[in-house]
Chain A
């Protein structure tokens, strides 16, 4: 799927949920159930992601040859993202506090 198509679909699903949420106000008990439903979905999602990784011969075959280098690149890329975004947000937060 193209970026635009997949992004529109995601937005449409989020938007549909949002519209429902504006219309139906949940009591405290419902809020708890909503959190639980989200957590369960996240757990199932993580499990099925694992299944896909484990069943994917391409990932497994590549991991043996490229895994080490790919891992180093990924860890440093995530660390770079986190560090720079953290500092940026911190500076912006300070700016917010001043006003």
Chain B
């Protein structure tokens, strides 16, 4: 956890000093490293037998955990809205990005520009919090808690973190959970909008 925070802080500092040029380079690099990592996770999965049987055996986990993560996230968003005195549909909508900042900020910016900015920031923060907390949550609480913290990012950025801290047998579930939560972003937002009566 300490090494993660230090690396992140060093990165932020470098980015701050280097500015715009660094953003493009780091963005490109992130993409390639991510693919390399996913290929390595895939490779490790291929070396294990019985992965598919395990997913089939625990299909209830694969379905219920992402749904619980989605529900818990929105409930947390509503609670935050109550504490902050925000309109509840707004805080709920921000929390329904599940860490997929590009999509949720795009959708919410169409309704209200500051809300889009808030969604962007909050969901970037979710990714950061997930990166920092997943190793700890996985080891101290449960791998499922780590997968849920990752939200939509469990299918890419935080997938390798789950794999390293929980074991490769959990990576199919992490991928499935991230994919389910990604798909649930537009669905949840539509539900929230219709309840709130927002176009």
A contacts, CB < 8 Å to B: 3, 7, 10, 13-26, 31, 34-35, 37-39, 41-56, 58-59, 62-63, 66-67, 69-90, 92, 95-96
| Contact, CB under 8 Å: A14 / B120 | no
Give the CA-CA distance A23 to B151 in the complex, in Å: 32
Q: How many A-B residue pairs have CB under 8 A?
A: 298
In the complex, B23 has a CB within 8 A of chain A? yes
User: Given the interface contacts A3-B182, A7-B179, A19-B46, does A51 sit within 8 Å of B23 by beta carbon?
Assistant: yes
Contacts of A72 on B, CB cut-off 8 Å?
Answer: 80, 83-84
> Residue A42 contacts which of B27, B114, B126, B161 (CB distance < 8 angstroms)?
B161
* Nearest CB on B from A77, distance (A): 4
In the complex, B145 has a CB within 8 A of chain A? yes
Give the CA-CA distance A44 to B125 in the complex, in Å: 19
Can you name 25 A-B residue pairings with CB atoms under 8 Å? A10-B155, A13-B38, A14-B45, A21-B45, A24-B43, A38-B41, A38-B160, A44-B29, A45-B30, A54-B11, A54-B16, A55-B18, A55-B19, A62-B118, A69-B84, A70-B118, A72-B80, A72-B83, A73-B80, A77-B77, A82-B69, A83-B72, A84-B68, A84-B69, A86-B142
